[in-house]
Amino acid sequence: MSNLIVKELSKTYQNGVKALNNLSLEIGTGMFGLLGPNGAGKSTLMRTIATLQQPDSGCISFQEIDVLTHPMELRKILGYLPQEFGVYPKVSAEKLLDYFATLKGIASAKQRAAISQEVLELTNLYDDRRKSVSDYSGGMKQRFGIAQLLLNRPKLIIVDEPTAGLDPAERKRFLNVLREVGTQNTVLFSTHIVDDVHELCNDMAIVNHGQVLKKSTPEQAINELEGKIWATKTSPDELGSYKNKTLVLSSNFSSDNSLIIRVYSNTKPDRHFSAESPTLEDVYFCVLQSKEHTGQSYA
Amino acid sequence: MLKSIYFYEIKHWLKQPSTYLFVSIMFLFGLGAMALTADITGDYSNIEKGSRRFANAPFSIASLLFDFNLFIQFIVPIFIAGSLYRDYSSKMFMILYSYPIKKRDYLFGKFLSSVSICFIIVLFLFLGMFLGSVLPWVNQAMITSNSIAAYIRPLFLIAVPNIAITAMLVYAAVIASRSIYAGFITALLVLLLRRILVFMLSGPDNQTLVALFDLFAQAPVFMAARYWTPEQMNMLNIPISNMIIYNRLIWLGFSSLIFTRAYQKFAFTQSILSGNIFRKTLRRKNYQSAIPKSKTQDVTDISFSFSFITQVRAAWRMSVFEFRNILLSRTFLALLVGSLIFMYLLLAQANPQYTTRIYPLTQVMLMVPSLFFSFIIGLITFLYAGILIHKDRTTDIHQLVDVTPISNPVLLGSKFLALIKIQAVLLSVIMVVGVLVQSIRGYYHFEIDLYLFDLYAVSLIGLVIWAMLGFFVQTLLPNQYVGFFLLILFSIGIGGLESIGIKPDIFKFNAAPILEYSDLNGYGNQLRSYFAHKLYWLLLGGILLILTFLFWVRGFAQNFPERVVTALKRSSKPVMAGSSALLLAFLSMGFMLYHSAYPGTEDISEKELRAHTSGVIKKFGNLRNIIQPRLSGVNINMNIFPEERNYTSNGTLVFVNKSEQAIDTLIIAYPANTNSEYLLGVNFEVLVSDSLLNLDILKLQDPLLPKDSLFLEFSTNDIPGTFFLSNSKVIENGTFMLAELFTVGMPDNENTHTLPSNPKASENSYVGKNVDPFDFEAVVSTSKDQIALAPGELAAQWQENGRNYFRYKSSRKIRNGIVFNSGVFEVKREHVNGVDLEIYHHPTHTFNLERMMEAMKATLAFSEKTYTPYQFKQMRIIEFPKTYGNFAQSFANTIPYSEFAGFISKEDTFSKNRFDQVFRLVAHEMAHQWWGHQVVPSNALGSRIITEGLAEYTSIEILGEKYGEEAKQLYLELISDRLQRSIARTPNKSTPLVFARPDQDILNYQKAALTYYAFQKIIGKDNFHHGLQNFIEKYRLRSSPYPTSLDLVNELRNVTPDSFQHIISDFFESDTTSVNKILVKQKKF
């Protein structure tokens, strides 16, 4: 069942950038990963769903709510964590959460205190609740971002590239929190870190140039590439010739300074290649590359 | 490196539209100010050539610059603070500070570049002024040839150092706090600091100190030009005087010190310089569980509500949150401390008058700071309107806030409430400091209710209206600093509307009648009109708030057309209905206010009236000097109704034909601004009844024969006021009004003062045509709690119909000028030499009664000894509220005396720079009982050197007798300084004293008194007093012919030894300025 339905959304900015190009998407319960390179239109899409921005055309609905005409109804059940945010200086987490709880319509002081404590504990910030959020470390601040979005028991949660800039431990901690809240609700989660999606999401879409290039579950997408991913060692000079012959998905230098390339091919390109088991990263590059090279999707 | 940072920054600013905005504003300022200064003086043909000041004269240019100081003061932080703050706000500093940039290059590069931009902006002000002076259509008569120095000196002597001083202080503040607002607050505090210094140091002896410490250099420039003649003002450049140089050095030194200190402390670190001591350091845990506490179900039971009442409560809570954040910010604390100090110094001094101190009454505590401090709170309102509205964006929290289901009106409302709370806190500074000052000075009669009403009912409304405008402008404009500046511009621009002919308050945003509080009658009649005007502006403010709501930015910024689309979308039916209702109410309220302030469509213009008048005069020109009977008796019943603010009166006027011929034509002029009727006891025919000039021309059936009397019965009633406007002279408590009487003869409508040598001059006295001193009797009634007064002895007193009645009868004829007073008074009485001395005063105004009594006794003793006996049996001083003004005036045995002219002033008998001003003023007014009432001079030129000059002289002598030579000397210095300044302003050939026009106050008071004094020193006190005595005895208490200034000089000539005869014409009759001679003499006193 689809909870969030985005239909034919378009948005062109004043400077001529077409951020959303007739984009349609249906999202059900659970964690939904939105993958795409920088500038793909992810943030525009999320802001538009989060009622922060108006599209030029299209419509959005979430569980019977027409988001564009009744933004207030969505805001009541929305939790949103933008890519970047600041806070008022010298205000403690506790006070700030109380403020947000007021903004989110909790009238009783007792309930505000209770829910604040709940989300602080959930995000592991309870011990630091009296400190200024402006003095928090990056990871703590991101967790605070999650804490504030949970205050209204949101049914739709939108998080925009939340793991960027977190150290591995903080990232783990953050993803765990997100997993915890994501099971019963719809969570739209954008990232360009493929592993985040792999670890968390039961559904995903890859977007670029304001369009959805692929939508499926991570497992299914990987399965589709089974037997079609090949790798070999080569040198930088030969990379060009491979690029002409095959669809090169990625190239990495190994520790002995040789270049390992992964390519997509229905058959083994030549004898130097060996078969590899596909990863989500392969899916990601495959979708982006095939579109750019051939103008059509591989699938 | 410095160079590249410098140019990088310059390029940055040159890319900003706001830079060009300020450049153009300043350019237009200069252009407009110059063109207007040249043109506003308008009818320049009337300006005597000598006193014309060219608009582009060096001094005029400097003066214009001072007028624009305020704007420059707030442009400086926009650029200076902006240059540093940009790196903090964009978090660029994290990257920048890691580069191998030298601190010196970084800080100086930024500083110098932003100062350069400020310099360029001010340069355009000067360019504008220059261009304004060469515009072809500018009034060339007010323009002189441009000289480079006239522009260069103010620019480099005043403007550039001023920018540098403010810039260094602002820069230091931003370095220390990393907050751009600290920059603005610093600029504001600099304004306060200057005001404090100028205020504290002001005083006749401290001019040098003020000149040194006025950090805008206005005082030293004005000091240097103090005695300049207009010609010198037109010619001379702003002098590079020591005073100006020292002033510049002091302040540049001071700000450099602060700057250096901040510079030394600056480090390329990621955290703020100081103040970290209070911050809790984060406890770093070595291990944090990667797995959150499990959340299997919602632990807490919570409920959401978006009902109206919860939204209102949410708005309040949010405003508390916003308010608390501001209150705890360091910038606001600095502002608060600054205001407290400023207010304390202001109130502790509390001397609005030159050498006078005032008791710390609550009304004084409220009056002293009102103007400047409410201006400052206005600035703060504009600043914080911007801060509050842009705060979510500048802190980058807006995405979190905007996706919450809080409605826009609640968001807006909470911020608006927070702003009003800020205003309330700042207003409370006045109360806190006021009570503090009162306690320190041992004055424990705190009128907390008055504080609360004045601050939170009267003042706060006006500030709330400014806040509404501030919110609107700051919401509409994306750049809050531009918004701040435009708001200042707008609020100051309103003050200038009057000069371009827009007078009604309803066209000047947030204008209302000025309230004057008095202990006697409170806010008086103005309060109703004040609140009506404020309500009117609140209605407009409501519309502005609705517009603010419509244009409120939610989500990501849009361009203006998109915002208009959003606004239209938000214009729901209730919104449209609400704003239409507000608009309708606003317009009808404005219509109503306009009509109550300017009633009567039948009012004709001044021009028409003048044309009509000259027509009548042409027609009846031969009537101008027609012989008329003369007023010689007044009997009046005056009923004062303080609660209704109204009076009725009736009575009889007795006119006697004192001429040798029969009179058959009578011209009767109605009293102005009253409802009046009259009856004559004889038969007559109306020839003309002119309702515009308010006069009747009658033909008497039986001519009035010589020595015969004519009785005119009259009734004269007050014109009822409108709901908002009452022009009645009657007030709730402390009424002070002159009787409006019918007069006979063609009124003189221009100043037709003849030369004293003209024999016609002596026909009429200076207080009315066809009026001689008359017999006077009156019955005055008033409400039962008040005492009513009129000249004369109190003959009877009774109560009737719950009202108090008083009958007054004068034992002697009185000079024209019948005064009535009514109020709740306490009376201090003494009986000296057969004279009742009485002071009628407000019950709590008892501070100076003793001094006043002493002054009356001293004047009585001195004048009876030196001149002649006192003519009445009583002398009364009667207090009136400052509603009527700040003065005292002498009527027959009555001196109405303003509460602010001495009842609440704190007098020193004699100390440094201070002398007993109340004593002197009472002596002056009482001396008028001799000079003005015993001797009533003619209507000729020079008459007021007899009344004012000799009253002033007498008061100086009495001051000397009471307090000694030093006090006298101090007062003489004071008035000679005033004389010198005035002479410098109007050096056009000085009028001889004996021909002084009545409006030439400086001649009539200061110059006459100083001349008498110098003359007395030369010919000897005894001789001089003997001459005065001869004069007064000769003309005492008589009717026409009335004495002139020449008669006085004649009497003086008679007592002057031969060797000094020549100085008489030098002193009194010469038209060469004799001031220097007088002053030279004075030095030898």
pLDDT in tens, A164-205: 777 888 888 788 888 877 778 899 988 878 888 888 888 999
Optimal mutation site among B388, B400, B412, B568, interface A, most CBs of chain A within 10 A? B400
List the strands of the sheet with B787-789, edge to edge: B735-738, B819-823, B787-789
Q: Considering only CA atoms, which of B220, B91, B107, B222 is closest in space to residue B167?
A: B107
What's domain B825-906's architecture? 2-Layer Sandwich (3.30)
How many CB atoms sit inside 10 A of residue A117's CB?
Answer: 16
> For residue A70, what is the nearest residue in chain B, using CA coordinates?
B405
Tell which B residues from 62 to 121 touch A, by Cβ distance under 8 Å: none
Q: Considering only CA atoms, which of B902, B896, B866, B870 is closest in space to residue B884?
A: B896
Where do the DSSP E strands lie in A82-145?
A: none
Candidate from A52, A87, A131 with C-beta closest to B556: A52
Give me the pLDDT at residue B1085, please: 42
> What single string gives the DSSP state of each residue in B503-522?
--GGGSTT--PPP--BTTTB
Tell which B residues from 899 to 938 touch A, by Cβ distance under 8 Å: none
Q: Does A49 touch chain B (CB under 8 A)?
A: no
Q: B564 CA to chain A: closest CA distance, Å?
A: 14
CA B793/CA B522 separation, integer angstroms? 30
Q: Do B292 and A123 touch (CB under 8 A)?
A: yes
Low-confidence ranges of chain B (pLDDT < 50): 41-50, 270, 272-287, 290, 296, 352-354, 601, 1081, 1083-1085
pTM: 0.84
CB-based contact B184:B201 (threshold 8 Å): no
- With a CB cutoff of 8 Å and minimum separation 6, the contacts of A67 are A49, A51, A59, A60, A61, A74
Candidate from B288, B304, B395 with C-beta closest to A124: B288
| DSSP assignment letter at B46 | G
Length of chain A: 299
Judged against a pLDDT cut of 90, whether residue A257 lies above it is answered with no
Q: A183 CA to chain B: closest CA distance, Å?
A: 10
Q: B283 CA to chain A: closest CA distance, Å?
A: 8
Q: Do B400 and A107 touch (CB under 8 A)?
A: no
Does domain B624-717+731-747+765-821 correspond to CATH entry 3.20.20.70? no
CA B4/CA B773 separation, integer angstroms? 87
Give me the pLDDT at residue B52, please: 65
Q: Does B292 touch chain A (CB under 8 A)?
A: yes
Tell which B residues from 231 to 290 touch A, by Cβ distance under 8 Å: 279-280, 282-283, 285, 288-290
Give me the pLDDT at residue B54, please: 81
Report the CATH fold assignment for A223-294: Alpha-Beta Plaits (3.30.70)
Q: B270 CA to chain A: closest CA distance, Å?
A: 12
CB contact burial B1040-1060 (16+ within 10 A = b; e otherwise): ebbbbbbbbbbbbeebbeeeb
Optimal mutation site among A48, A99, A108, A123, interface B, most CBs of chain B within 10 A? A99
Q: Considering only CA atoms, which of A296, A188, A161, A277 is closest in space to residue A227?
A: A277
Give me the pLDDT at residue B42, please: 47
Average pLDDT for residues A226-236, to the nearest whole number? Answer: 84
Q: Do B400 and A137 touch (CB under 8 A)?
A: no
Give me the pLDDT at residue A274, please: 87
Q: Do B280 and A127 touch (CB under 8 A)?
A: no
Q: B234 CA to chain A: closest CA distance, Å?
A: 55
Q: Does A172 touch chain B (CB under 8 A)?
A: yes
For chain A, domain boundaries: 2-216, 223-294
Tell which B residues from 382 to 441 touch A, by Cβ distance under 8 Å: 391, 395-397, 399-407
Candidate from B321, B397, B403 with C-beta closest to A75: B403
Q: Do B399 and A82 touch (CB under 8 A)?
A: yes
Does domain A2-216 correspond to CATH entry 3.40.50.300? yes
Q: Does B318 touch chain A (CB under 8 A)?
A: yes
CA B434/CA B818 separation, integer angstroms? 40
> For residue B319, what is the nearest residue in chain A, using CA coordinates?
A99
Give me the pLDDT at residue B231, please: 75
Q: Does A233 touch chain B (CB under 8 A)?
A: no
> What single string gives the DSSP state of each residue in B426-487?
HHHHHHHHHHHHHHHTT-----HHHHHIIIIIIIHHHHHHHHHHHHHHHHH-S-HHHHHHHH
Optimal mutation site among B300, B330, B392, interface A, most CBs of chain A within 10 A? B300
CB < 8 Å to A86, chain B: 395-397
What dihedral do alpha carbons B46, B47, B48, B54 form, nearest 10°? -150
User: 3-class DSSP state for residue B805?
Assistant: strand
Q: CATH 1.10.390.10 region(s) of chain B? A: 930-1085
H or E stretch covering B825: none
Q: Do B318 and A102 touch (CB under 8 A)?
A: yes
CA B915/CA B555 separation, integer angstroms? 67
| Average pLDDT taken over every residue of chain A | 87
Give me the pLDDT at residue B353, please: 44
Q: A121 CA to chain B: closest CA distance, Å?
A: 7
CB-based contact B445:B844 (threshold 8 Å): yes
The answer to ipTM > 0.85 is yes
Tell which A residues from 85 to 124 touch B, by Cβ distance under 8 Å: 85-91, 95, 99-100, 102-108, 111, 114-115, 117-118, 121-124
CB < 8 Å to A65, chain B: none
> For residue B283, what is the nearest residue in chain A, using CA coordinates?
A128
Q: Considering only CA atoms, which of B383, B350, B351 is closest in space to residue B365?
A: B350
Output the CATH code of domain B930-1085: 1.10.390.10
Q: Does B1034 touch chain A (CB under 8 A)?
A: no
pLDDT in tens, A59-100: 999 998 999 999 999 999 999 999 889 999 889 999 999 999
Average pLDDT for residues A21-39, to the nearest whole number? Answer: 90
At A297, is the pLDDT very low, low, confident or very high (cuts 50, 70, 90)? very low
Token pair recorded at residue A256: 């002995």
> For residue A172, what is the nearest residue in chain B, using CA coordinates?
B290
Give me the pLDDT at residue B911, please: 58
